[in-house]
Each structure stands twice: as structure tokens, then as C-alpha cells.
């Protein structure tokens, strides 16, 4: 297939629309559905992300993409019983790839609603069973087991978007795009990441365990495919907060930090014990939990509201309780797609349990940022690499 006609572009009024290969064939097969313009943007960006995660870590990887930025990304680490509960995995026996997708989807379940999925490995039955029960637009993978493909083809009344990509495809090193009738050209961002990222540790604390190197790698590879400015918090083999597309870096750090806080708070005892009615579906549970752990907790517990979701009225989760729970969190990793211009980013990050930081460095205020990191005994590496993505 050399080209594929799309229903429309980013919006219904943007016609005609298609994807095509300037030379040779497209490196994909469409096995089901009719992916759209934004679907393909999500598919091709997310595929690059999981491919590079797999190359860097040696583990199966998955990503959950929305609006050309990752809502979550992860590698195939086993899930604890708590994570199985908050990720709604049920009694499915989880393969490493299924663990990666459960983590990617579970990083920010509200943002992942209606996601596009990328898988680094052939989609197996275990992973397909997880995808089957989530609201999603489509999936891209290097292949699909027959039983997995049968399940996926049954989604969305047989219109679920399933893309198979050639894992050996290598794009042209020069990329181009047109904006306002003007053609932009640049070298493709083919930078690869390894332990050399951590050679320049600038803080007094230089103890960087191997699992934290892995999590910082996940953060940086995720940032490579996140709309700038961007900041990413990672923990235990997955993203837990991605802040994308903010004009101010501190706003990125706050946004991603708030998402990380929510991810951890979903695991606190009061949330795990919420007495949901059996009739309440996953999306409504996610939305209700988000309200419950927010400053609007009273809203969801108001008379006439809580009865829609719970069998009994839960106790309020107070600000003091949330802060006390979050103060128990440590060992979180943080990556930034460019340097931190002020120490306020560090001060915000430590409130979410950050102990390890990877950033470009190069700010005229690097000394102040390093001082802030030292004040909290953080490990911070400055690698000199900027990852703006637009």
C-alpha cells in the first residue's frame, strides 16, 4: 500500500486528507477499522516511543497516547496486588507485555480514556483481554497472535483500529512538513539513550541505583515524544505523571506532579476501600476517584450524589490525610525536556517524593537549581540533551 485515504484531517472540514509514502510502500497494514489523521499521528509517535523503550531496557513496552502526547508509558514489570486492583486487571493472567500496557493505561486513567495504544511486541491474548475492556480508539504493534486479533476485532462493533507495523522500518533521516505553505526541513531526532546520560551527576549525592537509571531512561524517552514544554515523573518502571505542552516549566512540573500525586493517592487505604456499587463502570469510577482525592471531595459526598456511586457514604479524605500519605512516598524519578530555569521546580518535585532528577542543565541559574537539589539530598544528573518536540 503506497497511500491511504483518510476521512478528514485534524478536523472534519480539513479535506482532502491522506497518508502516503513518497517512495516505496507504507510500512503498515490496517487489519481492522479506518484510522484517522490524529490516530496515525498518535500511532507513529507512540510506536517510536515503545520501540526505543524496548531497545533501552530490554523489556516489553507499551504506551497510551492522546492528542499526540503520552498519557502513560511503561515497561513490563510485574504488578503488585494493589496495582492490579487500581488497574482493573481482574483475574487475567498477565504477560510481561500485558503488565506494560496495564501500567501505561493506569498511569493516568482519566487522560487515557479513548487512547491510542502502542505495543513494542506482538500483541498476545493476555494483553488483548486487557484492551478489550478499556475505551480505546486503536492499537499499533508489530504483530498480533490469532486469538488476540480475534478479540480486538470485536471491539467497537468491529470498527476498532488495528495497525500492524513493520518493526524493521527505518524512516528517512530527513523529515519535512508544511506549515502555512512553507516547507520545514530538519534531521530526524534519532538520538538514543544509555547510561552515558548519567555521567555528569552535579549534586553532592551521587548514589544512583540501577532501577532509578531505568526509570530516568523511561522518563527521558517519554519526553522525546511529548509536546514541549514537558516534564515526566516515573516510578517502578512506568510514568506516573506527564505534563505536556505548557508554556512555563514550573507549570509542567506542577501539572505532572499533581498527576503523580493522584496516582499515589489512588493506592491509599481510604481510596482502595471506597464502597462502589457494582453497577458503576470503570470510567465513572475513575472520575469519581479523581473527585474524591481532589479538593472537591465534598462535592462527590454530597447528599444525592454519593448514592449514585457508593453503597454507603465514605469518609472525607482530608488535606491533612493526603499530605501525610504523600509524605511517605520517596524514590520517584523526574525528567525534564530542557533545563530547569529556577529552583522552584525542585521544591515542587520533592513534594511528590522525587529523589532523582535528569535534566539538560545549561541554565545561567544552574547553581541555584543544584543548591536546591542538594538541600533535599537529591541525585541530579545534567546530560546536556534537550528534547523539544513539536
Which residues are the active-site residues?
Answer: 66-67, 229, 390
Distance CA(218)–CA(54), nearest Å, equals: 10
Q: How far is CA 171 from CA 29, 190, 242, in A?
A: 16, 10, 27
CB 291 within 8 Å of CB 299? yes
Of 387, 334, 389, give the one whose Cα is nearest residue 44.
Answer: 389
CB 5 within 8 Å of CB 26? no
Three-state SS at 52: helix
Which DSSP helix (H) or strand (E) runs through 161? strand 161-165
Distance CA(75)–CA(63), nearest Å, equals: 9
Strands 174-179 and 182-187: antiparallel
Tell which phi-psi region holds residue 261, choosing left (phi > 0), alpha (psi between -120 and 50) or beta. Answer: alpha
Distance CA(283)–CA(312), nearest Å, equals: 20
Residue-level length of the chain: 390
Distance CA(382)–CA(234), nearest Å, equals: 17
Q: Within 10 A of 13 (CB to CB), how many other CB atoms are there? A: 7
φ, ψ dihedrals at 163, nearest 5°: -115, 130
Strands 3-5 and 174-179: unpaired
Show the CA angle centred on residue 353, arms to residues 351 and 354, nearest 5°: 100
Which residues are CB-neighbours of 28 under 8 A, at least 6 positions away?
1, 140, 163, 164, 165, 166
Of 262, 280, 274, 281, give the one whose Cα is nearest residue 301.
Answer: 274
Crossing angle of helices 146-153 and 125-132, rounded to 10°: 10
Amino acid at each position: 500500500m503506497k497511500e491511504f485515504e483518510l476521512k478528514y484531517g485534524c478536523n472534519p472540514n480539513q479535506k482532502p486528507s491522506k497518508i502516503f509514502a513518497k517512495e516505496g510502500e507504507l510500512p503498515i497494514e490496517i487489519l481492522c477499522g479506518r484510522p484517522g489523521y490524529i490516530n496515525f499521528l498518535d500511532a507513529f509517535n507512540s510506536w517510536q516511543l515503545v520501540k526505543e523503550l524496548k531497545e533501552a531496557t530490554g523489556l516489553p513496552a507499551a504506551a497510551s497516547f492522546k492528542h499526540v502526547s503520552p498519557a502513560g508509558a511503561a515497561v513490563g514489570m510485574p504488578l503488585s496486588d494493589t496495582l492490579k486492583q487500581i488497574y482493573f486487571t481482574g483475574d487475567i493472567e498477565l504477560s510481561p507485555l500485558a503488565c506494560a500496557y496495564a501500567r501505561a493505561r493506569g498511569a493516568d486513567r482519566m487522560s487515557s480514556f479513548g487512547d491510542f495504544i502502542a505495543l513494542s511486541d506482538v500483541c498476545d491474548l493476555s494483553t488483548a483481554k486487557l484492551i478489550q475492556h478499556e475505551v480505546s480508539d486503536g492499537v499499533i504493534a508489530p504483530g498480533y497472535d490469532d486469538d488476540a486479533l480475534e478479540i480486538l476485532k470485536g471491539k467497537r462493533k468491529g470498527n476498532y483500529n488495528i495497525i500492524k507495523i513493520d518493526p524493521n522500518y527505518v524512516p528517512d533521516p530527513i523529515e519535512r512538513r508544511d506549515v502555512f505553505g512553507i516547507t520545514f526541513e530538519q534531521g530526524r531526532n534519532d538520538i538514543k539513550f544509555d547510561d552515558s546520560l548519567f555521567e555528569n551527576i552535579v549534586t553532592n549525592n551521587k548514589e544512583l541505583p540501577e532501577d532509578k537509571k531505568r526509570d530516568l531512561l523511561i522518563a527521558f524517552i517519554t519526553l522525546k515524544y511529548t509536546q514541549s514544554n514537558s516534564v515526566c515523573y516515573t516510578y517502578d518502571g512506568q510514568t506516573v505523571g506527564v505534563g505536556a505542552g505548557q508554556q512555563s516549566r514550573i507549570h509542567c512540573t506542577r501539572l505532572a506532579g499533581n498527576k503523580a500525586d493522584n496516582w499515589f493517592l489512588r493506592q491509599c487505604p481510604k481510596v482502595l476501600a471506597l464502597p462502589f456499587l457494582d453497577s458503576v463502570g470503570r470510567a465513572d469510577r475513575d472520575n469519581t476517584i479523581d473527585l474524591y482525592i481532589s479538593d472537591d471531595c465534598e462535592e462527590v459526598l454530597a447528599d444525592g450524589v454519593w448514592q449514585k456511586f457508593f453503597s454507603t457514604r465514605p469518609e472525607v479524605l482530608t488535606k491533612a490525610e493526603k499530605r501525610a500519605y504523600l509524605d511517605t512516598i520517596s524514590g520517584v524519578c523526574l525528567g525534564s525536556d530542557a533545563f530547569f530555569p529556577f529552583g522552584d521546580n525542585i521544591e515542587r518535585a520533592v513534594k511528590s517524593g522525587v529523589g532523582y532528577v535528569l535534566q539538560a542543565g545549561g541554565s545561567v541559574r544552574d547553581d541555584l537549581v543544584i543548591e536546591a537539589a542538594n538541600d533535599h539530598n537529591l541525585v541530579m544528573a545534567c546530560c546536556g540533551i534537550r528534547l523539544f518536540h513539536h
